Amino acid sequence: MFPNSILGRPPFTPNHQQHNNFFTLSPTVYSHQQLIDAQFNFQNADLSRAVSLQQLTYGNVSPIQTSASPLFRGRKLSDEKNLPLDGKRQRFHSPHQEPTVVNQIVPLSGERRYSMPPLFHTHYVPDIVRCVPPFREIAFLEPREITLPEAKDKLSQQILELFETCQQQISDLKKKELCRTQLQREIQLLFPQSRLFLVGSSLNGFGTRSSDGDLCLVVKEEPVNQKTEARHILTLVHKHFCTRLSGYIERPQLIRAKVPIVKFRDKVSCVEFDLNVNNIVGIRNTFLLRTYAYLENRVRPLVLVIKKWASHHQINDASRGTLSSYSLVLMVLHYLQTLPEPILPSLQKIYPESFSPAIQLHLVHQAPCNVPPYLSKNESNLGDLLLGFLKYYATEFDWNSQMISVREAKAIPRPDGIEWRNKYICVEEPFDGTNTARAVHEKQKFDMIKDQFLKSWHRLKNKRDLNSILPVRAAVLKR
């Protein structure tokens, strides 16, 4: 299910295949002076001229040219004729487009099959300890087909059809990856050794066709002060987007939250993005969740329908004091772990070396390749699992004294720390141990969430029809 094969042929020309030296980058630690220098570069650099960055060579493959792209002007690049093809902003229908980085096989819903989306692999410098691994060229594992679960009853059939219609397609992922590649090139004008990672639902296996893109800008592997350093970095990025990339990016907003972000929309792909700085735990949990997503074929359809249900009932928005999508996914995984006959194990217990929070970033993507499929004796269908999920949180889980822990694969007593006191819902982040449901800080919102679990459980139990708790046609239209 998770092939452990070597990557396919890299997109390099044959005459470069004999290089066998490694270039080791110095640790990417941005001091206060370097941030000032970055601001100086932003204000004074002639961005119409390509800025040559360091040339990186990896093992026995060719050097990677990381020349930065020039200033965007309208829908064309200035001096575009003098640029190599791979330095231009490519449109999806362009005859000069770069080699496709994703497998374009589209699953046939009639055959109840889908291709496992290929897993990102990056070429990296083995000796790097503190700096961020290069992330320019991306290769993919060959996908293998996974049979969807059988749906013999009406409710399971409805869940499966909703999943097949709304799940993120390879083409959706390709659009986000193309934008990430171009933005990384632009941001490297300000921070030459930074790397931009696609994270969250776009890559963890739980995305839908309407999912936003989440990006993590990594300037160093050490923690960044989110109130000061991260905000300053994002201020520079925001200014760059507003002044230099207005032809391609619209509505850039700097949101000064606990973890500050820049929100924007890419005009080419029409995808909304959130960009943060050094939220490295998001990279780690992306690949942990991706492993869970493909460990058992009932996981992804169940998560998707629950996210749609929560969104419809307005309890899936952390910015409004309810549950984030990440918390909802952890709640589903926890439920599947705590069944009398579990459908999922704790991956962090079984494979501690693959999911250690200390593992270096350039090795994180390898973890899912080392995990074989999990064979559960539980044969419950999707309809029964959805009903059981609602019942578990409506009547069985003790919100007052217990914490949801995917790491431990069970409900555990709440800690005494200040972060957990007076919190209505406690969901443990698997890597850093924080509370992912801390946004639920009002009793009114907590009561609304509990009430919706209870009402939906009763309705679904009586009618066994997904439309009784989620208008399927409306959910499909939203994708």
pLDDT value at residue 94: 35
β pairing state of 195-199 and 145-147: unpaired
Q: Is the pLDDT of residue 36 over 50?
A: yes
Task: Name, of 107-111, 167-171, 245-249, 331-335, the range with top average pLDDT.
Answer: 331-335
Separation of alpha carbons 86 and 201, rounded Å? 28
348 pLDDT higher than 90:
yes
Tokens of 256: 């000064």
Q: According to the per-residue pLDDT averaged within each range, which of 63-77, 99-113, 278-292 is highest?
A: 278-292
pLDDT digits (tens, 9 = 90+) for 163-214: 999 999 999 999 999 999 999 999 999 999 999 999 999 999 999 999 999 9
Helices (H), 259-381: 280-293, 299-312, 325-337, 347-350, 361-364
The string of DSSP codes covering 132-155 is PPP-SSEEEPPP-EEEPPP--SHH
Looking only at the bridges linking them, the beta strands covering 72-73 and 120-122 are: unpaired
Read off the pTM. Answer: 0.74
- Write the pLDDT tens digit of every residue in 268-327: 889 999 999 999 999 999 999 999 999 999 999 999 999 999 999 999 999 999 999 999
Q: How confident is the model at residue 42 (pLDDT cuts 50, 70, 90)?
A: low
pLDDT on residue 39: 58
Quick: pLDDT tens for 441-465. 999 999 999 999 999 999 999 999 9
Cα-based torsion angle of the residue sequence 45, 50, 54, 56 in order, rounded to the nearest 10 degrees:
150
Nearest to 13 by CA among 135, 99, 91, 80: 99
- pLDDT for the residue numbered 72: 38
Q: Quick one: tokens of 14?
A: 């044959």
H or E stretch at 156:
helix 154-166
Report the distance separating Cα 328 and Cα 302, nearest Å: 11
Report residue 5: phi and psi, to 5°: -80, 165
Kindly report the backbone phi and psi dihedral angles of residue 280, in degrees, each rounded to the nearest multiple of 5, phi listed first: -65, -30
- Which among 278, 277, 333 has a CA at the least distance from the CA of 302? 333
**382-391 and 299-312 helices, crossing angle to 10°:** 50
Res 74 pLDDT > 60: no
**382 CB contacts (<8 Å, ≥6 apart)?**
149, 151, 155, 156, 159, 160, 298, 301, 302, 305
| Residue with more model confidence, 416 or 312 | 312
Q: What are the helix (H) ranges across 167-204?
A: 170-187, 201-204
| pLDDT tens-digit map of 202-219 | 999 999 999 999 999 999
Closest CA relative to residue 348, chosen from 299, 407, 295: 407
Judge whether residue 40 has pLDDT over 60. no
Taking residues 129-141, report their average pLDDT. 36
pLDDT (tens digit per residue) in 147-159: 899 999 999 999 9
Q: Which is nearest to 167 in space by CA: 114, 119, 101?
A: 114
Per-residue model confidence (pLDDT) at position 147:
85
Average pLDDT on 84-113 reads 34
Whether the Cβ atoms of residue 221 and residue 79 lie closer than 8 Å to each other: no
